[in-house]
Amino acid sequence: MQRLKITSIEAAPLFGESPKGGWSTEIKPDDSIHALIAVHTDAGITGLGSVFTDGRMVQAALQVLRPLFDGENALEPERVAEKLHQNTFWMGRGGVITHTISGIDIALWDILGKVTHQPVGRLLGGTYRHRVQPYCSLLMEEPQQMADTVAAFRARGFRAFKIGWGPFGRALDPKLDETIVRAAREAAGDTAKLFVDAGASDAYWPHGLKWALRTAQMLDDFDVGWFEEPLRPDALDDYCALRLQSRVPIAGGEVLTRRQSFLPWLSRGAFDIVQPDVTKVGGISEQRRIAWLADEFGVKYIGHGWNTALGLAADLHLAAAMPQTDLVEFIGGSPYVDGILSEPFMLDDEGYLAIPDGPGLGVQLDPAKLARFTPNPEVLFAPPKRR
């Protein structure tokens, strides 16, 4: 098969059970902050992707992009995605258009895998692993509630946890911050991995370098594996200074998009761990280039595509294809991860996730389950008739 023509691309916004983000202006359940994308082809093969953006904005972006993707070859994800990027730079690199291209690119890799009968991870260059440890990503709560939440997910089999956002740093109470981390560590156990995300990309983050330095010292006492987003997302110089002085590894990069944005952060040594988000950075094609660029600088790549089951599937395949990627983010308790697949992700007895080995992304959406979260799930399974 030399060519598979794109006949339409559709988006399904997700509503109804959007999980809290811990933001200062909190997400409401009926807000749309995620969307699923389907790329339909003339051979009846459909690819699926995910976008971390309001689904209604994704639908609008598809109308802008339509002249560029109509009739394109769905078997060439990198070329098609780059064509979309190159011809929309004047609309603003990194915004809704870029996020939407991310979902399209993921879906095109899904198609390529289905046509070649190969998992996406193998198509990305090889398989370094067949399973990977998920860290359960949880919002910070008051200490007792934090302990109870971590304990509940530990009972489900998780052995790695990330706690973030919520009152941490925002309550302007260092003692509360420490008490929350202590509660999480005690509930997780001494042998569990524990990571902390300040979430300093939130609106009006109140702290700077000196707070981050003091907090990093505190986190080291609890054997925290990394300190994520400890500074405002444009504070490049402060990130470099913090990384040099902190005993705890520094992680970040989820707000950056396109590979070009990551170069100064990697070349200047701002991160120990870089965390691009496959559902907004430009898709699998872009994420792979960023991950290998990070590897050249000795920076570990851990993906941030946690927001839906399709984003997680993309991250699992990238984890298969990258030599040092031993973790993926798994948002705890989100119905958009746990409640939309025919066969949900399941932990094995050691708390790992198997990387799907079927064609493409290797996961199947369940139309009946999706109907709870989007008004027109059918657009993901069959293209609507055009007038």
Q: Do 224 and 167 belong together in one domain?
A: yes
Residue 387 confidence (pLDDT): 53
Domain that holds residue 308: 122-354
Residue ranges in 227-334 assigned as alpha helix (H) = 236-245, 258-267, 284-296, 309-321
- Distance CA(252)–CA(3), nearest Å, equals 39
User: What pLDDT is stored for residue 19 in this prediction?
Assistant: 79
Residue 222 shares a structural domain with residue 167? yes
Q: H or E element: which one contains 7? A: strand 6-14
- Tens digit of each residue's pLDDT (9 = 90 or more) over 38-71: 999 999 999 999 999 999 999 999 999 999 999 9
Beta bridge partners of 35: 13, 51
> In whole angstroms, how far apart are CA 114 and each of 45, 74, 118, 294, 360?
8, 11, 7, 29, 5
Give the chain's domain count. 2
pLDDT at position 342 is 96
Find out whether 283 and 102 touch, Cβ atoms under 8 Å. Answer: yes
Average pLDDT taken over every residue of the chain: 95
Q: The domain that contains 50 carries what CATH number?
A: 3.30.390.10
Instruction: Give the per-residue pLDDT at 22.
Output: 78
Q: Is 71 exposed, middle or buried (0-12, 13-18, 19+ CB in 10 A)?
A: exposed
On whether residue 271 sits in a domain, the answer given is yes
Span 120-178, pLDDT tens digits:
999 999 899 999 999 999 999 999 999 999 999 999 999 999 999 999 999 999 999 99
Task: Let me know whether 287 and 210 are in one domain.
Answer: yes
CATH number at residue 316: 3.20.20.120
278/129 same-domain check: yes
State both tokens at 266. Answer: 């990697």
Q: What is the pTM of this model?
A: 0.96
CA distance 173 to 170: 8
How confident is the model over 363-376, as pLDDT tens digits?
Answer: 999 999 999 999 99
According to the model, what pLDDT value does residue 27 have?
81
Question: CA 47 to CA 9: how far, in whole Å?
Answer: 9
H or E stretch at 10: strand 6-14
Q: Which is more confident, 13 or 384?
A: 13
Dihedral angle, C-alpha 313, 103, 31, 343, nearest 10 °: -30
Q: Is residue 127 part of a domain?
A: yes
Asked if 80 and 20 sit in the same domain, the reply is yes
The radius of gyration of the chain from alpha carbons, rounded to an integer in Å, stands at: 20
Please give the structure tokens belonging to residue 312.
Answer: 């997680």
**Residue 116, CB-side half-sphere exposure with 13 Å CA sphere:** 21
